[in-house]
Structure 1
Amino acid sequence: MAQSAKAASSKSNIALAKKVMDFVMQQKNNTYNYKQVAHAIGAKTAVQQRNIALQLVEMAFNGEIIEVSPGKYKSPQRGNEAIGVFVRRSNGKNSVITDSDGETIFVAERNSMHALNGDRVKVNIAAHRRGAEPEAEVIEIIEKKEQTFIGTLKVDKHFGYLLTDSKYLATDIFIPKAKLKSGKTGDKAVVRITEWKDDFKNPSGEVVDILGKAGENNTEIHAILAEFGLPYKYPSTVEKAADKIGAGITEEVVAQRIDMRDVLTFTIDPADAKDFDDALSFRRLSNGHYEIGVHIADVTHYVHPDTIIDREAQKRATSVYLVDRVVPMLPEHLCNGICSLRPNEDKLAFSVIFHMDDDGKVLTSKIARTVIRSDRRFSYEEAQNVIETGLGDCVEAIKKLDELAKILRRQRYENGSVEFDRAEVKFHIDEAGKPLGVFFKVSKDANKLIEEFMLLANRTVATFVGKPQGKKKAKPFVYRVHDVPDPSRLADLAAIARTFGYKIKASGPPKEINRSINRMLAEVKGRGEENYLSTLAIRSMAKAIYTTDNIGHYGLGFEYYTHFTSPIRRYPDMMVHRLLDRYLAGGRSVNLQKLED
């Protein structure tokens, strides 16, 4: 009897293994895990699912399938030769990522042809041996990537070396005396590789720039920027072009805009901010409603497409914020001067003007180019003091805006927006850039006031283009979208939260899932597990991206959303401003594919 049961079990396992093989053979370039395989072939018991997981592990060990990430597999789609991107590592664990299926294949240094990180290469893939990693040999470097490395110079009598800081290169770079650019021992430098002969251990290069003495704060910050391909200085030609631009607020320009210079307007920003790209205006209307203007610096009035300034901004894409400085997207004359909504200066703005009632309902909205004049510059701390004490400048405006922002925020959470409210780490530094201390910057009501009206403006602009009134069709636009979370990550988050005593819905309507996450985030406040669980919750989410294909913003719970409010520091916002200007003027749709590219 026992033998009969054992035989039946064996027969069942063989049948199950065959179903797994049949499934795998049909997947082509798709990825899958054991749960997906089990669901597809109808394996419901824990024992069957465990056998499937073990079979996939064994198949990956034997080279029959590829484990592209822990627990996720795909069938190999390769011949003897492949093309891909070379990945160099200073520990010798080089590899190539193939174009055909994204597989990572080991390349020994002796088989690398001295290919550098990012080079496009053709490789010959060795015949697979059971239980061994696949291995490849570079047979041609198809396209060499421009290579610069950061390090410290060591200069002898007739030549020099760069002792690299890079994780991508294990060897030093030899530099002929004539190519040192007056660099001295101890200088931090940017060096370009010019040659690496097959039979030479070290590549040869030339100094591109001397950053300064190693160890000095400014030098080390510039080295970090250069290492990650970020600009550490502005091209003089771009700055000269920017310096020629004047404010140009003439009578003719004003006549083409809504003049709001007589309306109470102010900015609320960090205390150390220099580029003020958004302002709020406020006035009570005779019918008891409120006119609230969200005014954004009209950068694209000054920066025209395909100019030297525009090309540099597009290349930079955003401003980059470091501990002790900002690396701006636009030259200082524009970002901190002409475009910045500084107090007591006439400024050009692109605005969204709302009429709202006491219940926070938007009765009407209008998008228009305006002229404004900020009456007051508030820091977040100053505005927070007004909210808490009811004392200071612009009390009625700030108190009412805070009240409306809280209503908008409550409505947003009720409609499924996720409440990620995390403290930001900031540093106290001295004039030399030396850190003196660290503190947590907590988002208070003043911060949330600004955030809520910026969200409202962004959402309104996206809806205006994406969901036009009447019989008009939506036109191509730049959206900020956020996809639904990966179900397996949500399931993992729910399982871990359960061990701490919290309940999270891992399936169902997005609104219900997000409400359950918000409940958990509220309950965990101030507890030891707060940072752990809130970090896991963020990591369970997809990453937000820019695209012309609007799928909505899951995390905010918005059907339409874009970035309109920061054109001084984000190039996508400049794109949005240009598209809005075109469409408001009755212009035709732009080419969708070109916009996406």
Structure 2
Amino acid sequence: MTKRKIKTKKLGKGVNENILKDQILDLLNSNVSTTYSVRQLAKILQIRGKKHKDKMLELLLKMEEQNEIRAIRNKFKSNHKPLSFIGTVDYVNPRTAFILSDGFTQDPRVKIDDLQYALDGDTVEFVLLSKPGRNPRARVERIVARKRNTFVGRIEISTRYAFVIADNKRMHYDIFVKNGAVNGARHNDKVIVEITEWPGWEKNPEGKIIKVLGKAGENNAEIHSIMAEFGLPFGFSDQVESAAQKISEKISATEIRKRKDFRKIPTFTIDPADAKDFDDALSFKKLKGGHYEVGIHIADVTHYVKQEDMLDREAFERATSVYLVDRTIPMLPERLSNGLCSLRPNEDKLTFSAIFELNENAQIIKEWFGRTIIHSDRRFTYEEAQEVIETGKGDFNEEVNSLNELAGKLRNDRFGKGAINFETAEVKFDLDEQGRPVGIIPKVRKDAHKMIEEFMLLANKRVANFIYHLDKDRDKYPFVYRTHDNPDPEKLTTFSVFARKFGHQLQLKETGVSNSLNLLMGEIEGKPEQNVLQTLAIRTMAKAKYTTEAKGHFGLAFDHYAHFTSPIRRYPDVMVHRLLQHYLLKGKPADREEYERKCEHSSEMEKRAADAERASIKYKQVEFMQNAEHKTYDGIVSGVTEWGVYVEIVETKCEGMVKIADIEDDFYEYDERNFCIVGVRNKKTITLGDNVKVIVKNTDIDRRTIDLLFV
């Protein structure tokens, strides 16, 4: 049998059309996401000479006409559809973004030209431009869903048009606004802009102003900007307020008979001086035989907020109160949060309680959970309770000091079992009448704070433990737990290397991590590196979350933990109260999937609240440091990146950045593995934890950034 001879047309000496066609298809189909110009194809396929290149172009056009390949802007690519993936854009700087997607060991990198106007947080379909593995490259094919289409920013108005410069650091486009769409905004106002059109390549998105927040730099305008940026509500609807007002404040005799009555037992609250909503109260009674009865009484929000009513839906949507520097955005209307539910002194109040009989060593002899009624005899501030502890004198001094002794024993037991003692250095701002910061005051945690914390932890732990052990089938009754996974070993190793730079050792064996961290926290207390090391230690930890999975809490060293003690400000606590009461009444197991969805939403809203709170603190820090130019500050290097060195100023706890471009004594390169930058010529190293001196170069209220210079 003889082979059939293939008739071919010569392109010239040594160039065969069929062979060349196969080579083109092989190249393009092996790189389905890549486009090639004629020059690139000629170079790769070694086609030389103008005559042969012209013939190749004729072949390419013929192949495109026959739908064998595609032509895009004078370039050619495979006609095969590339394998695509779905992911979320992480837009880190004006030149580059990454895509977070399951199944990739390294996040694919996307150049600005290949983003298709996708923004940070958008869900996109993308294809790979290189093979998966180390440093994969990708291109966005289409935007599946926008995370947002409104932005907060400062408007700059000229005679013919305007632009909005977004506050969001990850929005890298200025938004064009026609003069007819400024909605009364004036030059330098803070505004909310809605994007109405994404135009062609290399043009800015176009938008319209939907709300004017006020003059940039003014406190209300800036705080409202933060609220709008994070989608926080500016108030409650009239319908929600009306529903709250309609709730009766009277407590019926029938309702009282359903509850345990603690009104004759000494009871008090301890809260910050400026608090208006009192979630929790403590009662104390000596029992025969030397034991003590300690009642942890929590506002019974679920008595007033019924499941799936208007107030409940609003509370679920918000999921948490948000505490900005100068205001609180509550989860519940004031009628409830500061009135009906708040455990104010000298008033009968409905509560949900955890009652413990403890011996002299703070060991639990008996426990009881259920609905109660209390009458708070005294409203202490933390400072007032602390004075009673220190002097042994004052109202309820015997009760307060006995509770403090028991709390100390509970705390020692907790740390002995591996709880981690993170005492982060927090600050608050001294604000003038206009909301401007005139001072930064460190928050000091004393025994009164720790006492309240310890009894709240006890109630939260025992409620979770009670539900978990309701049945031999430990997973039978779905519940809302607060869980905290073990830290990532790789992050711990990285942190231990950093801690060693300060002369501190960290035990990395799984059984000794907690104790080693506690020893470290004790060693650094009061030292300049305390805040940096504590912050980095916390970053090595997994994020706590709400879930129906009955896992433990690593940081607290609890087998099971829940949030029971703050239903005025946290929706998961409302769910815990409902489920606990349902199971106490022998109710059937709740719908696990429904509660897991609610847990996920609550965790997301908690993160949003934390981000907004940090943004408001950062704004006040920037505002405070505006008046600090030309003064030299001691600082500690708290972060190193390829574009700059972050420095925490010791005196004010404010963090700023020294841009690498502003370091003039040498050209510095980033050493990612060793968390440092290294001078090319002088080999000088600037690394995490270095003590430095800096001055303020510039502050930017809009972007909430502080630019520093090394002295």
Is the CA contact 1:482–1:552 (under 8 Å) kept in the aligned structure 2? yes
Deviation sequence 1:454-489 (CA, Å, 0-9, x none) = 011001100110123778875111111121222233
Q: In the alignment, what sits opposite 1:580?
A: 580
CA distance in 1, matches of 2:481, 2:322: 21
Q: In the alignment, what sits opposite 1:16?
A: none
Deviation sequence 1:326-370 (CA, Å, 0-9, x none) = 121222221111111111122111100111222212211110111
- Change in Cα spacing, 1:138 to 1:357, as seen in structure 2 (3 Å) is closer
CA distance in 1, matches of 2:197, 2:531: 49
Deviation sequence 1:129-154 (CA, Å, 0-9, x none) = 999x6443333222233311111234
Q: In the alignment, what sits opposite 1:92?
A: 95
Matching of residues 323-342 of structure 1 within 5 Å: 323-342=325-344
442-451 vs 110-119, which deviates more? 110-119
Q: In the alignment, what sits opposite 1:32?
A: none
- Change in Cα spacing, 1:122 to 1:469, as seen in structure 2 (3 Å) is closer
CA distance in 2, matches of 1:175, 1:123: 30
Q: In the alignment, what sits opposite 1:58?
A: none
Q: In the alignment, what sits opposite 1:121?
A: 124
323-332 vs 88-97, which deviates more? 88-97
- Change in Cα spacing, 1:84 to 1:517, as seen in structure 2 (3 Å) is closer
CA distance in 1, matches of 2:251, 2:494: 57
- Change in Cα spacing, 1:503 to 1:103, as seen in structure 2 (3 Å) is closer
Q: Secondary structure at the match of 2:100?
A: strand
411-420 vs 106-115, which deviates more? 106-115
363-372 vs 531-540, which deviates more? 531-540
Are positions 1:107 and 2:96 aligned together? no
Are positions 1:214 and 2:195 aligned together? no
Q: In the alignment, what sits opposite 2:688?
A: none
CA distance in 2, matches of 1:529, 1:197: 50
Number of residue pairs aligned between Structure 1 and Structure 2: 517
TM-score, length basis structure 2: 0.68
Counterpart residue identity of residue 587, structure 2: G
Counterpart residue identity of residue 571, structure 1: Y
Is the CA contact 1:422–1:442 (under 8 Å) kept in the aligned structure 2? no
TM superposition shift of 1:239 = 2.5
334-343 vs 144-153, which deviates more? 144-153
Superposed CA RMSD:
2.7
Among 193, 196, 199, the residue aligned to 2:198: 196
Q: In the alignment, what sits opposite 1:372?
A: 374
**CA radius of gyration, larger in:** 2
Counterpart residue identity of residue 576, structure 2: V
CA distance in 2, matches of 1:471, 1:99: 33
CA distance in 2, matches of 1:349, 1:579: 15
- Change in Cα spacing, 1:289 to 1:355, as seen in structure 2 (3 Å) is same
TM superposition shift of 1:106 = 3.5
- Change in Cα spacing, 1:102 to 1:575, as seen in structure 2 (3 Å) is farther
Q: Secondary structure at the match of 1:459?
A: helix
- Change in Cα spacing, 1:130 to 1:143, as seen in structure 2 (3 Å) is closer
Is the CA contact 2:481–2:548 (under 8 Å) kept in the aligned structure 1? yes
Is the CA contact 1:269–1:380 (under 8 Å) kept in the aligned structure 2? yes
Q: In the alignment, what sits opposite 1:555?
A: 555
Are positions 1:458 and 2:460 aligned together? yes
CA distance in 1, matches of 2:177, 2:499: 56
Deviation sequence 1:104-136 (CA, Å, 0-9, x none) = 3333444333333333222343356999x6443
CA distance in 1, matches of 2:440, 2:580: 42
Is the CA contact 2:151–2:194 (under 8 Å) kept in the aligned structure 1? yes
CA distance in 1, matches of 2:528, 2:547: 38
Q: In the alignment, what sits opposite 2:388?
A: 386
CA distance in 1, matches of 2:516, 2:116: 54
Q: Structure 2 regions of 5+ residues with no counterpart? A: 1-80, 598-711
428-437 vs 380-389, which deviates more? 428-437
Matching of residues 201-350 of structure 1 within 5 Å: 201-350=203-352
- Change in Cα spacing, 1:114 to 1:461, as seen in structure 2 (3 Å) is same
CA distance in 1, matches of 2:525, 2:174: 50
Counterpart residue identity of residue 121, structure 1: V
Q: In the alignment, what sits opposite 1:419?
A: 421
Identity over aligned residues, as a percent? 48
CA distance in 1, matches of 2:340, 2:183: 37
Are positions 1:591 and 2:594 aligned together? no
CA distance in 1, matches of 2:474, 2:527: 51
TM superposition shift of 1:102 = 7.1
TM superposition shift of 1:259 = 1.8
Is the CA contact 1:114–1:198 (under 8 Å) kept in the aligned structure 2? no
Q: Structure 1 regions of 5+ residues with no counterpart? A: 1-77
Q: In the alignment, what sits opposite 2:28?
A: none
Q: In the alignment, what sits opposite 1:537?
A: 537
- Change in Cα spacing, 1:409 to 1:216, as seen in structure 2 (3 Å) is same
CA distance in 1, matches of 2:328, 2:105: 36
Q: In the alignment, what sits opposite 2:488?
A: 486
